[in-house]
Chain A
C-alpha cells in the first residue's frame, strides 16, 4: 500500500484527509514539517500533503531544503492553503496545491493524480530522459511478482570509449542519445502498451517486452543503429570504417565503428525468483553477442538455469 504523509495541526483537515485517503493509502499524520522531514529521511512516502498556514515561513523552508537533495527532488508535495492569496511558487518547491475549502471534493483525486504523475517521471536520465535503475528494478520486480511472461533485454555499445576519446564527449553524448531514441521508438512501435525502456547509465540500456515481438525489435534496433551511427563519424573515418584511438592501456590502435550488442533472457522459458538472476542471464547473453564482430543480439533459449 502506498504511503501518504499528512502534515498539519488542523484537526478538521486531519480528519478529512484520513477519511478520504484511508481506503486507498496508508495515511500517516505528523504535526509539523520539521518532524515530517525526519520521518521522510527514514522512509520516503509516495506523497506529502502539507498545510501551509498563512505567514508561516518555517514550513516552506523545510520543504525547500528537503527538495534540494536529488534523492527527494522527485517526492511529490501537495500544499494545502486557506483563503490567503497563493504564495510565490518560486519560493516554495511543491508540485501542486489545493484550497482547504476544496478538500472534500478534490483531495483524493489530486493525490491520485500527483502519485501517478510522480511515477511517470521518476529518476530520468538527463541525457536520454529515460528512467534509470530504481524504475528498472521496480519494473522487473513488479512483473516477476505478477508472474508475467516477459523478455528482458540488456544492450550496450562496442568501441564507444575510443569514439568518445577521439571526438570528445559531446559527440559521444549524441551517440548515447541516438541509441536511447532508437531503442525507445522501435520498442514502442512494435509494442505500444506495456513495454518499458530504461537507461542504466553510460552506454548501458535495458528494455522489457512481451516475448513475441522481442526478436523483431532486436533486429530492427541493430539495423537502424548500423545505418545511423556511421553518419556520426567524420567522412574519412567513415570511409575506412573506424578510427585511430587509444585503448585502456593508452596504446594507439585502430577501432572499428561502434556496434550494439543485445542480450535477451525472459520468464517464458524458465522461472526466475529474483531480478538479479534475470539480469545476470541477460548480461550473459550480451557477452555472447559481444563475441560476434559488429552489432548483434543473442536470445536465451535455455530451458534450465545456467550452471
Chain B
C-alpha cells in the first residue's frame, strides 16, 4: 500500500462540498422536516445531533453568498438565519455514507458524546456560548470523515497501524498521510469560512497549548475527547485513552465532583438516545 502526502491533496480536499452521514440520520430527516408545524428549535435539536448536518448548515450560513462569513458558529443561530425552507432543502440533500459504516457509526457516537460533554463543561465553566463549544466537540474529528471518505484503503491501514503499534490514530495518520485529521479538518473549516474559534478548536484539539483565540474552548474539547474515550463511548479511530494535556487540565480547573456530574450527563444522553447512528 502506498502512503500519500496529504499536503499535496489540499485542493482536492477543499473541493469537497458536503459530508455524508450515517443511515440513522437519513432515516430521520424526512420524519423531522415532514412533521406539520415543526419549529426552528426542533430542527436545531435534530441537526446538532449529527456532524454532517451541522457542517452543512454552518457552511451555508457562513458562505460569502449568504452574507455572514466567519460569523456564525451556533447551529440554532444558523437555523434561525437560514429559515425553514432553506434548512429543509439542505437537509433533504444529505447523502448516506456508503463505505466503512461500522467505523463511521463509532465515530458518530464519539462525536456526539464529545458534544454532550463539551456542552456540560462549558456550562459548568459559565461560558457565554455553550452551544458553540458543543459544536466544537461535534466537529473536532470531521477531518477523519474526510480522510475515510477520500482515502479508504490508506485510512484502514492507519487504523491497523494504530491498533498493532498501540499508538494514537493521529500518529498513525501522520505516518500514512504526513498530516493528521486536525489539519485536514482545518483546511476545510477555513475553506467553508467557519468562525475562527471553531477552526482553532478543530486545529488544536490534540495540542491545546497552541490555541490562541479560544484556549478555553479548545481545552474543553481536548478534555471531552479523552473523557468520552475513557468511558468507552463510540470509537475515535483507535482504542487508546491518551493523557490529558496538563496545562489544559489546569486551565479547566474541574473538581472530581464536576467531572462526575459531566459524566452523568453523558450517561443520561446515552440512555435517552441509545446509539444515535444505527
Residues of A within 8 A of B (CB): 174, 177-178, 181-182, 184-186, 188-189, 192, 224, 227-228, 230-232, 238
Question: Residue B5 at the A interface, CB < 8 A?
Answer: no
Q: From B67, B74, B80, B84, give the contact of A182 (CB < 8 A).
A: B80
Given A189-B40, A231-B129, A181 contacting B81 (CB threshold 8 A): yes
Q: Which residues of B contact A232 (CB under 8 A)?
A: 71
Q: Which residues of A contact B74 (CB under 8 A)?
A: 231
Bin chain B's interface residue count.
10 to 19
CA distance A227 to B85 in the complex (A): 22
Listed from nearest, the 10 A-B pairs whose CB atoms lie closest are A185-B83, A181-B81, A228-B77, A224-B80, A189-B84, A189-B40, A177-B67, A185-B80, A182-B80, A178-B81
Tell me if B83 and A174 are in contact (CB < 8 A). no
Tell me if B81 and A182 are in contact (CB < 8 A). yes
Q: From B68, B83, B84, B128, give the contact of A177 (CB < 8 A).
A: B68
Question: Shortest Cβ distance from B121 into chain A, in angstroms?
Answer: 20
Which residues of chain B from 48 to 86 have a CB within 8 Å of any chain A CB?
A: 67-68, 71-72, 74, 76-77, 80-85
Question: Shortest Cβ distance from B91 into chain A, in angstroms?
Answer: 15
Q: Which residues of B contact A174 (CB under 8 A)?
A: 67-68, 71
CA distance A188 to B83 in the complex (A): 8
Question: Residue B268 at the A interface, CB < 8 A?
Answer: no
Residues of B within 8 A of A (CB): 39-40, 67-68, 71-72, 74, 76-77, 80-85, 128-129
CA distance A232 to B77 in the complex (A): 12
Tell me if B68 and A178 are in contact (CB < 8 A). yes
Q: From B39, B68, B76, B81, give the contact of A189 (CB < 8 A).
A: B39
Known: A181-B81, A189-B40; 14 extra A-B contacts, CB below 8 A, are A174-B67, A181-B82, A182-B80, A184-B83, A185-B81, A185-B84, A189-B83, A189-B84, A192-B84, A230-B128, A231-B72, A231-B74, A231-B129, A232-B71
Tell me if B80 and A181 are in contact (CB < 8 A). yes
Question: Shortest Cβ distance from A175 into chain B, in angstroms?
Answer: 11
Tell me if A186 and B77 are in contact (CB < 8 A). no
Question: Shortest Cβ distance from B25 into chain A, in angstroms?
Answer: 22
Q: From B39, B83, B85, give the contact of A181 (CB < 8 A).
A: B83
19 residue pairs from A and B, CB less than 8 Å apart: A174-B67, A174-B68, A178-B68, A181-B80, A184-B83, A185-B40, A185-B80, A185-B84, A186-B80, A188-B83, A188-B85, A189-B39, A189-B83, A224-B77, A224-B80, A228-B72, A230-B128, A231-B72, A231-B77
Q: Which residues of A contact B72 (CB under 8 A)?
A: 228, 231
Question: Shortest Cβ distance from B256 into chain A, in angstroms?
Answer: 30
Among A182, A192, A227, the one with the most B-chain Cβ atoms within 10 Å of its Cβ is: A227
Tell me if B68 and A238 are in contact (CB < 8 A). no
Among B72, B81, B128, the one with the most A-chain Cβ atoms within 10 Å of its Cβ is: B81
CA distance A238 to B71 in the complex (A): 14
Residue of A nearest to B40 (CB): A189
Given A174-B71, A178-B68, A185-B40, A228 contacting B83 (CB threshold 8 A): no
Residue of A nearest to B76 (CB): A227
Residue of A nearest to B85 (CB): A188
Q: Which residues of B contact A228 (CB under 8 A)?
A: 72, 77, 80-81
Q: Which residues of A contact B39 (CB under 8 A)?
A: 189
Q: Which residues of B contact A181 (CB under 8 A)?
A: 80-83
CA distance A13 to B128 in the complex (A): 68
Q: Which residues of A contact B129 (CB under 8 A)?
A: 231
CA distance A116 to B76 in the complex (A): 34
Question: Shortest Cβ distance from A168 into chain B, in angstroms?
Answer: 15
Given A174-B67, A186-B40, A238 contacting B128 (CB threshold 8 A): yes
CA distance A177 to B69 in the complex (A): 12
Question: Shortest Cβ distance from B126 into chain A, in angstroms?
Answer: 12
Question: Shortest Cβ distance from B171 into chain A, in angstroms?
Answer: 34
CA distance A192 to B38 in the complex (A): 11
Question: Shortest Cβ distance from A221 into chain B, in angstroms?
Answer: 10
Question: Shortest Cβ distance from B63 into chain A, in angstroms?
Answer: 13
Question: Shortest Cβ distance from B153 into chain A, in angstroms?
Answer: 42
Q: Which residues of B contact A231 (CB under 8 A)?
A: 71-72, 74, 77, 129
Q: Which residues of B contact A177 (CB under 8 A)?
A: 67-68
Among A192, A224, A228, the one with the most B-chain Cβ atoms within 10 Å of its Cβ is: A228
CA distance A185 to B85 in the complex (A): 9
CA distance A200 to B255 in the complex (A): 54
Q: Which residues of B contact A178 (CB under 8 A)?
A: 68, 81
CA distance A230 to B128 in the complex (A): 10
CA distance A185 to B84 in the complex (A): 7
CA distance A174 to B64 in the complex (A): 12
CA distance A231 to B68 in the complex (A): 12
Q: Which residues of B contact A185 (CB under 8 A)?
A: 40, 80-84
Given A178-B68, A232-B71, A188 contacting B81 (CB threshold 8 A): no
CA distance A11 to B84 in the complex (A): 50
Residue of B nearest to A227 (CB): B77
Question: Shortest Cβ distance from B57 into chain A, in angstroms?
Answer: 13
Q: Which residues of A contact B82 (CB under 8 A)?
A: 181, 185
